[in-house]
Amino acid sequence: LAKTTQPISMDSYEGQEVNITCSHNNIATNDYITWYQQFPSQGPRFIIQGYKTKVTNEVASLFIPADRKSSTLSLPRVSLSDTAVYYCLVGYLPYGGATNKLIFGTGTLLAVQP
Amino acid sequence: DAGITQSPRYKITETGRQVTLMCHQTWSHSYMFWYRQDLGHGLRLIYYSAAADITDKGEVPDGYVVSRSKTENFPLTLESATRSQTSVYFCASSEGGAVDYEQYFGPGTRLTVT
C-alpha cells in the first residue's frame, strides 16, 4: 500500500501561488494521484487528479515527476477562501471488489492571510 | 434533492449499542465508500462497494458491517459500539472504475460513543 506524507501546515498570503507537495514513495503502477479540499464541518471536495506529468484545470495544477514518487498541487493566486485542509490520495479501485488500494494522506492545513 | 446525503448528522450512543448510519445518493453511481476521520489520522477507508451486493474491506473494517441491496443506499452498522469508534463518518460515491474516478462526499455524521 502506498503511504503518503504531506506537510502538516502551510501559511500564505492572498495573491500568492501555493505549492503543496505529497510524498508517495511506494506508489504502484496502477495508482492515480488525486487531491481533495476540505473545509470545517464539510466533506472533502475533489480538486484535481493525474497519473503523470502535468494536469491543469480551472482551479489548480498538478505536477508529477517521471518517477511518480511525489506530486505537487499548485494553487495560483490564493484567496482567503482557499484556507482549508488539502488531502493527497493515492490509489485506484479495480472493478468487482478487491483489496483496498485507497490511501489518504493526513492532510495539509493551508492558512491564507490578508 | 440530488446529491449524497447522510443521516443522522449527529448521534450519541452508549457503548455496546448497535448503531446504523445511513447514506443515500441520487446519481446511480456504482461505487460507494465509508470513511472515518479522526485527528491525526486523516481519512481512513472502512468499507467500499463496487455495485449492489458487492462490498469489500478497506483499511479499518473491524467492528463495522455494511450492506448494499440497492444501488443508491449504503448503510454502515456498528454492531456493538465502542468508544474508539467515536469519530466523524463520511460517505462518498463515484462513478468508479479503474481510472479517472472522482469521489463525491456527503456532509458527514458525527458519532459519539459514551
Instruction: Give the tens place of pLDDT for each residue, A24-75.
Output: 888 888 788 999 999 999 999 999 999 999 999 999 999 999 999 999 999 9
Asked whether residue A1 is assigned to any structural domain, the reply reads no
B87, B37 Cβ separation under 8 angstroms:
yes
Instruction: Give the tens place of pLDDT for each residue, B15-48.
Output: 999 999 999 999 989 999 999 999 877 888 899 8
- Side chain identity at residue B11, one-letter code: K
Is pLDDT of B98 > 50? no
Give B66's strand partners.
Answer: B76
- Strand A45-50 to strand A32-38: parallel, antiparallel, or no bridges (unpaired)? antiparallel
Which residues have CB under 8 Å from A21's CB, separation 6+?
A6, A7, A70, A71, A72, A73
Alpha-carbon distance A87 to A38, whole Å? 8
B interface test, pick of A1, A57, A95, A108 with most B CB neighbours within 10 Å: A95
Map out the domains of chain B as residue ranges. 4-113
Give B56's strand partners.
Answer: B48
How many domains, in total, are found in chain A?
1
A78, A113 Cβ separation under 8 angstroms:
no
Asked whether residue A25 is assigned to any structural domain, the reply reads yes
Alpha-carbon distance B96 to A91, whole Å? 12
Is pLDDT of A84 > 80? yes
- For residue B94, the distance in angstroms to the closest alpha carbon of chain A comes to 11
- For residue A104, the distance in angstroms to the closest alpha carbon of chain B comes to 6
Query: According to the model, what pLDDT value does residue A70 have?
Result: 95
Question: Are B42 and A34 within 8 A, CB to CB?
Answer: no
Q: Is B27 on the interface with A (CB under 8 A)?
A: no
SS3 for B30?
coil
Selection from B3, B5, B1, B18 nearest residue B108 by Cα:
B5
Structural domain for A33, as ranges: 9-113
Asked whether residue A4 is assigned to any structural domain, the reply reads no
Query: According to the model, what pLDDT value does residue A1 have?
Result: 55
For chain A, the first-to-last Cα distance in angstroms comes to 40
Residues of chain A found within 8 Å of residue B3, distances taken between Cβ atoms: none
Asked whether residue A42 is assigned to any structural domain, the reply reads yes
Question: Are A100 and B45 within 8 A, CB to CB?
Answer: yes
CATH code of the domain containing A107: 2.60.40.10
Domain spanning B4-113: CATH 3.40.50.1360: no
The stretch B62-73 carries a mean pLDDT of: 96
Asked whether residue A26 is assigned to any structural domain, the reply reads yes
Asked whether residue A89 is assigned to any structural domain, the reply reads yes
Asked whether residue A96 is assigned to any structural domain, the reply reads yes
Alpha-carbon distance B90 to A24, whole Å? 24
Which residues have CB under 8 Å from A8's CB, separation 6+?
A106, A108, A109
Give B44's strand partners.
Answer: B36
Is pLDDT of A98 > 50? no
Asked whether residue A39 is assigned to any structural domain, the reply reads yes
* Closest residue in B to A94 (Cα–Cα): B98
- Residue with grid cell 479522526, as numbered in its chain: B38
